[in-house]
Structure 1
Amino acid sequence: MSFRTFRNITTVAATAVLVAACGQSPSDKTEATDTSATESDLLNRINNGGTINVGTEGTYPPYTYHDEQDNLTGYDVEVTRAVADKLGVKVEFKETQWDAMLAGLDAKRFDMVANQVALTTPERQAKYDIAEPYNWSGAAILAPKSDSRYNSWESLKGLKSAQSLSSNYGELAQKYEAEVVPVDGMAQAIELVKQGRADVTLNDHLAILDYLNKFPNSDLEVKLVAPAEEKTGAGIVMLKGNDEVLAKVDAAMKELHEDGTLSELSQQFFGADITKR
């Protein structure tokens, strides 16, 4: 798994102007009241040391999973707990399958989502807000430590890259004129690189760091990472209309950046600092 991905609002804007000119319908008033009530309820709970409800999978290591004692943990989980501590509230996690995650947020079954969500399409950006990102990621090149050929992405030209043909990373390898060796997934791709049947594999930087953290003796290493402008940030997501809450979460996240908590957690779960773009 990787980041979850998000058009033209002219028609919507024009419709909104028309509705405003004609007067608000009862259903419009109800929706506005509901949004205001949701903001007020969540804000009151935060201001009074209450409990926030956060949707997460619990089956997506190292971000959100159960440890050997069946305790919910993971990078996203522990970051959220640290945010809750800064806010002075308790946090209750609602474990939900990914396919139902944002639907659960829409239905207000929980207040926020912490599950490596990135708002990268206009549709999601129009519907949700994302707090200050707690990690950044992009494409990365994995190859043997002994291979010193990689001084730029153009170095991939003519090399064998083990990739799933339908993936974004397969397309990226083809963009740089690598010869794609088809595989079913990341595990098979890494094995081909280790066996010398492929020179490299491209994948999400965090997925690669997770592998290297689990298998430090693999004799593989990250050679290149996408530039900052091509990276995507993941953060706590909530419905639009919670501006004061968003500001409080942003402030808490900023403190966690500044006091080193986020860096410590990223080192714990990935063996590297993933908090900087």
Structure 2
Amino acid sequence: MKIKHFLSIATVLAAMATPFLATAADADGKLELLTPGKLSVATEGTDPPFSMRSANGQLDGLEIRVMKEVARRLHLEYVPVITKWDSILVGLQANQFDMSSAAMDITPARQKAIVFSDGWIESGGRIIIPPKSDIKSAKDLKGKRIGAQVSSTYAQLAIDHGATLKNYIDVTAAVQDLANGNIDGVINDSIGNAYLIKDMHLPLTQTPDYVSVIQKGFAFKKGKPNLVAAVNKALADMKADGTYAKLVTPIVGFDPAPKDPVRTLPQ
């Protein structure tokens, strides 16, 4: 009797599991993934606190923690693809990865070329300066030597405000150059600025005003509506159940989720 009872339970469990596995496989097949079951995601790995290396060498940061949880909720294996910032958009169009989690500002110009998820974090551009700098706001940038990450919205903001721009592959290099006295300031995301100044123990500060206020979104090549929708749902659920705040607050000290997220434009 015990053997029969065990077999009956096993049969029932198998019957229950089969529809679930089929449903998961069907869902996976509709997500426009390059490799079924795997979510390949571009990230820099050198943009703290969004993407960086922890003391043990593992990838960590705001976007890494959020994307790992998104992949888990979609029952997919998270596969990070380390990519330089100025190669991300080219890589998306060339199908080198499924999406990008790099901290990319949602702008009208970019929305014409790619698709963004709903805004997942809100911040803004601020200027990193030495304590005795005469730069107090964006109005003071004209004629100043200002550093920014190449191909970023902050680089364009420097130009728009009349600064002499110096491009850098990553923000860490720009901030170090500022600390060495080679430039007058660096425009970058305010969350990233605060983290860098604290983590690198630099005698720098930020201007009190913002050069810009913007939301960031995960980026996709056009033609992946199911994947975008699935990621958006996972993000919304994470924020609603408190998981998002639990993941990111330990890094930056507060919950930077947008109160009114920019929504994905129809494809």
Name the amino acid aligned to 1:203: I
- Determine if contact 1:209/1:272 at 8 Å carries over to the other structure: no
Out of 233, 248, 251, the residue aligned to residue 269 of structure 1 is 251
TM-score, scaled relative to structure 2: 0.61
Equivalent residue number for residue 139 of structure 1: 125
Find out whether 1:257 has 2:239 as its counterpart. yes
Deviation at 1:253, TM superposition (A): 0.9
Find out whether 1:57 has 2:44 as its counterpart. yes
How has the CA–CA distance of structure 1 residues 174 and 110 changed in structure 2, closer, same or farther, with 3 Å as cutoff? closer
Equivalent residue number for residue 88 of structure 1: 75
Equivalent residue number for residue 17 of structure 1: none
Name the amino acid aligned to 1:94: V
Out of 63, 84, 106, the residue aligned to residue 97 of structure 1 is 84
Deviation at 1:213, TM superposition (A): 3.6
- Determine if contact 2:245/2:255 at 8 Å carries over to the other structure: yes
Unpaired runs of 5+ in structure 2? 1-26, 169-173, 260-267
Equivalent residue number for residue 112 of structure 2: 126
- Determine if contact 1:87/1:248 at 8 Å carries over to the other structure: yes
Deviation at 1:51, TM superposition (A): 2.1
CA RMSD of aligned residues (A): 4.2
Unpaired runs of 5+ in structure 1? 1-38, 193-197
User: Partners of 1:172 and 1:272 in 2: how far apart?
Assistant: 31
- Determine if contact 1:161/1:202 at 8 Å carries over to the other structure: no
Map 1:1-277; keep pairs closer than 5 Å.
Answer: 41-43=29-31, 50-122=37-109, 124-141=110-127, 163-164=146-147, 167-168=155-156, 170=158, 185-189=174-178, 201=185, 203-204=187-188, 205-214=190-199, 218=203, 220=205, 223-226=208-211, 230-276=212-258
Q: What's the CA shift string for 1:239-267, capped at 9, x where partnerless?
A: 22222221121111112222333334333
TM-score, scaled relative to structure 1: 0.59
User: Partners of 2:158 and 2:107 in 1: how far apart?
Assistant: 20
Name the amino acid aligned to 2:194: L
User: Partners of 1:243 and 1:266 in 2: how far apart?
Assistant: 27
Count of aligned positions = 219
